[in-house]
Amino acid sequence: MSELIKESFEKTRLAGNIASRALDEVAKIAKPGISTNEIDKLCYEFINDNGAYSAPLFYRGFPKSCCTSANHVVCHGIPSDKILYEGDIVNVDVTAFKDGWHGDTSRTFEIGEISVKAKKLVRTTYEALMKAIEIVKEDIHLGDIGAVIQNHVEAEGFSVVQDFCGHGIGKSFHKEPNVLHYGKKGSGDKIKAGMIFTIEPMINLGNYETKTLKDGWTAVTKDKSLSAQFEHTIGVTKEGCEIFTLNKT
C-alpha cells in the first residue's frame, strides 16, 4: 500500500470513528418523546468535542449538523422540533470532518416498539449493506455492489431507491464514483485498492420513487411508505475492504 493510500486510510479511520461513536451516543437517546433537534445538538456537540466538524452544517446551505429522516422520509431530513414517538423509525446520518478528511455513516433507529413490517424493513436494509460490503475487494465491478443489494431487498418484497447513491469520499465530502444500490453484476467500472467510498442503500416498503419537498432537502417516498437506510464509509484493499465507521456494538 502506497504512503498516500496509507495516510488516506488512517485519516478516514479517525473521522469515521468519530462519526460512528456519535451514532453510538444517539442510540442512547433515541427514545419516544425526543425531538430531532435534540439528536442534532448531540451530534454537533459530540463531533466538536472530539476535535472535528460536522460536514453537513452549511454544506450547500444545509442548516443542521446531521440528517434525521423519519418514517417515509428517505434521506436529508432536517432536524426540527419534531418529536419522535413510539413506533417511529428514524435514520440519523452524520459526517465528521477531521484533519481534512471525511467519515460518513448512518443508522436507522427504532423508537420504542415498532411494527413487525417496519422491523423487517430495517433488518433487510442493514443486511443489504453488510452483504454488499462482504463482496467488496479490488477488481469487482461497481455494478456487483448494486446487484447484491437489489437482489436481497427485492427477494424480501421491498424496493431500492434510485434517486440517491453512495459516493466517493475523502478530502471532499462527495466525489466520484457514484455507487448505485441497484444494477447488474459485471456492469460499471472495476474498483481499485485504495479507493474510499460509501455504500448507503435507501430501501422502501412500497414503491421506489421519491420526491423532494419544498424545503429543497427532505426526500420522501412518493407513496408515503416507510423507508430505511444504513451507511458505512469503506476503503478497498486487495483482499477485501476496511469499514471505517463500524459501531462497537
Residue type, 70: A
Binds 36: which of ligand MF3, Co ion, none (CB < 5-8 Å by kind): none
For residue 21, report the phi and psi dihedrals to the nearest 5 degrees.
-70, -30
38 binds ligand MF3 (CB under 6 A): no
Is residue 179 close enough to count as binding Co ion by CB under 5 A? no
In the sheet where 241-243 sits, what is the strand order?
175-179, 166-168, 196-199, 232-236, 241-243
Which residues within the stretch 2-21 sit at the binding site for Co ion (CB under 5 A)?
none
Is 232 an interacting residue with respect to ligand MF3 (CB under 6 A)? no
> What is the closest distance, in whole angstroms, from the C-beta atom of residue 94 to ligand MF3 in the complex?
7
Spatial distance between the Cα atoms of 225 and 73, rounded to a whole number of angstroms: 9
Return the sign of the alpha-carbon dihedral for residues 117, 104, 193, 176.
positive
126 binds, options Co ion, ligand MF3, none, Cβ within 5 to 8 A by partner type:
none
Q: Whole-number minimum distance, CB 108 to ligand MF3, in Å?
A: 13
Out of 30, 39, 67, 142, the only residue in the binding site for ligand MF3 (CB under 6 A) is: 67
- Of 70-89, binders to ligand MF3 (CB under 6 A) are 76
Amino acid making up residue 112: G
What character string, x for contact with ligand MF3 (CB under 6 A) and - otherwise, covers 146-185? Answer: ----------------------------------------
**CB of 187 vs ligand MF3, minimal distance in Å:** 22
- What is the closest distance, in whole angstroms, from the C-beta atom of residue 2 to ligand MF3 in the complex? 27
Quickly tell me which residue has 476496511 as its cell: 242
What values do phi and psi take at 128, rounded to 5?
-60, -45
Measure the CA–CA gap between 131 and 232, rounded to whole angstroms: 12
Q: Of the candidates 135, 85, 126, 87, which has an alpha carbon nearest to the alpha carbon of residue 107?
A: 126
125: contact with Co ion by CB under 5 A: no
